[in-house]
Structure 1
């Protein structure tokens, strides 16, 4: 036999042995859990949907009542002139700060607090 024929025979034997090794290992590694899962998926039958499933869950829609237009007072001019003549009333005057550590309570006191100079600090403390 020539060396070429021997090489071809050796190559063929190796390829056959590789195919057999892969095919036997694939059969040995069969996943039983996956097979059971697929079998159960195929056997599953979805339940038929209920025709009146919405009854008791969905409420009937009804339009809200139409709003009523506002009614004008009989003496509109008199009420407007009374409103113009009235003096504006302000909330109770701001109370002065009595406790230490609380800030100003009214708008005027707050603005005065913001405009006040910062207290002077000794440079020795820093």
Structure 2
């Protein structure tokens, strides 16, 4: 059986070689005259030297910004002296009235108010 396989493999190689087409072309070396002229002109070009004052009118002259001034602090000593010299104002009895319209009677009255049992509100359905 191996001889049959060897013969078929050899036959397929021969068929594959005969199917390959080879093309042999000779390329004609043509010179591109326009490209050669362009490259020759590029190599021979020399930029004209720039004048030393060419930047005048295009670039502004540099001027450093002005230095900022230090902030001035108010005279705190005179303000503190004026504050110390003022008399504190005393609260009047109208200022002492609580938000519920009851006069403030001290801490004990407030604690008694907090500890007082309030009647639960009846739910209206």
Query: Scaled by the length of structure 1, what TM-score is found?
Result: 0.34
Higher relative CO (Cα under 8 Å, sequence separation at least 6) belongs to 1
Query: Scaled by the length of structure 2, what TM-score is found?
Result: 0.34
When Rg is computed on C-alpha atoms for both structures, the one with the higher figure is 2
Higher helix share: 1
